[in-house]
Structure 1
Amino acid sequence: MSPPDRKEDEVRRMLEGPHPAVPADLAGHAAERGHRILRRHRAARRLLWLLLVVAVVAFSVWAALAEPWLEPSSDIAPPLEGW
């Protein structure tokens, strides 16, 4: 068996001592803060989804107008006629 750890002894002494008083409205403040955090997370998630949808729509409109799957026309040299 290993000898008792110094930190473990300190923790035991701290737990055996008098406990600090807890404010009466601590639970209410904690619940309110939790609701605020959840609202922020929901808003951030909705904003990210909105940005994703806007990006998909913008890409779709660009692809429909630019038609990147077609080969570009060869405007470099004039067409050969009369051969």
Structure 2
Amino acid sequence: MNRAEREAAVRRILEQTPAPVPPDLCAEAVRRGERMLRRRRFVRRVLWLVTCAAVVAFTVWAARVHPWVEPPSQTTPPITGW
């Protein structure tokens, strides 16, 4: 297809009347968009809640167990009788 044929095809497409748009298209799009935003907001809140619960659980665990303290050595038996 050369340039003239492409231009003619584009002109034919542009001169055609557009397809009719359903009258409730805007209202349906708004409804779906609001529902999608509510879902995203809910998921974001749940993820923040889970993150906060994980931070609290880790803090409580770390405060009770003290993972940063080196455990006592068990490789050498205690010396007795000196």
Which whole-Å CA distance do the structure 1 matches of 2:4 and 2:80 have between them? 96
In structure 2, list runs of 5 or more residues that go unmatched.
none
Corresponding residue number in structure 2 for 1:23: 22
Give the AA of the match of 1:17.
Q
Give the AA of the match of 2:62.
A
Corresponding residue number in structure 2 for 1:57: 56
CA shift, 1:54, in A, is 1.1
Matched ranges for 1:33-52 at <5 A: 33-52=32-51
Q: Which moved further from structure 2: 3-12 or 40-49?
A: 3-12
TM-score normalised to structure 1 length: 0.78
Which whole-Å CA distance do the structure 2 matches of 1:40 and 1:5 have between them? 50
Give the AA of the match of 1:70.
V
Alpha-carbon displacement from aligned partner over 1:3-54 (angstroms, at most 9, x marks no partner)? 7386665444323211111111111000000100100110111111111101
Which whole-Å CA distance do the structure 2 matches of 1:49 and 1:70 have between them? 31
Give the AA of the match of 1:71.
E
Which whole-Å CA distance do the structure 2 matches of 1:64 and 1:8 have between them? 74
Q: Secondary structure at the match of 1:49?
A: helix
Corresponding residue number in structure 2 for 1:81: 80
Q: Which moved further from structure 2: 56-65 or 11-20?
A: 11-20
Which whole-Å CA distance do the structure 1 matches of 2:5 and 2:44 have between them? 46
CA shift, 1:59, in A, is 0.7
TM-score normalised to structure 2 length: 0.79
